[in-house]
Amino acid sequence: MEIAQIVGLGLVATIFLLIIRQEKPVLAVLLSLTFATVIFLFVIDKLSTIVAVVTELSHRAEANYFFLGTVLKILGVAYLAEFGAAICRDSGEVAVAKKVEFGAKIIIAVLALPIMIAILESLMEIMPR
């Protein structure tokens, strides 16, 4: 039962964090980061399976992989930003967390631009002049 392991790890990390945060907030941030990394490594295999299945399905549906790849990248950026922002927020640095989210929004917008342009170009081409 992997979920039991994850929940157990989470509870242990929470208890440690509650104790450490009062005395040494810097160590608490490090522990939080370590916990997040462990969880990420724990599920990375399953994540790659999800990506593989989605890719396979999109191939079968004859979807352009470039666009699906972009969507997957956007998802990755969102997760990474969420992870960073949450750590910043835990440490009480809400302003920094906002900046991380702002950066992520810009990167997502840039990644989504090619898809938007492809749609707009196609629509403009089929419009009567």
Partner 1 sequence: MEVLVTIVKNLLVIVVIASFLEILLPDSSVRPFVRFAIGLFVILAILNPILAVFFSGRAMQAGAWDLPWEYEESGDYQEVGREVNRDIQKVGSELIREKIEQQISSTAILVPGIGDLQTRVIMTSGEGKLSGIEMVIVPISTVPEADSVTAFSSREQQDQEREIIVKKLTSMMKNLYGLNEDQVVIKFKGE
Q: Is 10 in the site for partner 1 (CB under 8 A)?
A: no
Quick check: 74 binds partner 1 (CB under 8 A)?
A: yes
Tell me: does residue 87 bind partner 1 (CB under 8 A).
no
Helix axes 94-126, 65-90, angle to 10 degrees: 160
Beta carbons of 80 and 47 less than 8 angstroms apart: no
User: Does residue 88 belong to the site contacting partner 1 (CB under 8 A)?
Assistant: no
Give yes or no for residue 34 binding partner 1 (CB under 8 A): no
Determine if 96 is a binding residue for partner 1 (CB under 8 A): no
* Cα 97 to Cα 4, 14, 46, 84, 88, distances in angstroms: 30, 21, 28, 7, 5
Contacts of 78 (CB under 8 A, 6+ apart): 104, 108
Q: Is 42 a binder of partner 1 (CB under 8 A)?
A: no
| Residues in contact with partner 1 by the rule CB under 8 A | 50, 54, 57-58, 60-64, 66-68, 70-72, 74-75, 77-79, 81-82, 85-86, 101, 104-105, 108-109, 111-112, 114-119, 121-123, 125-126
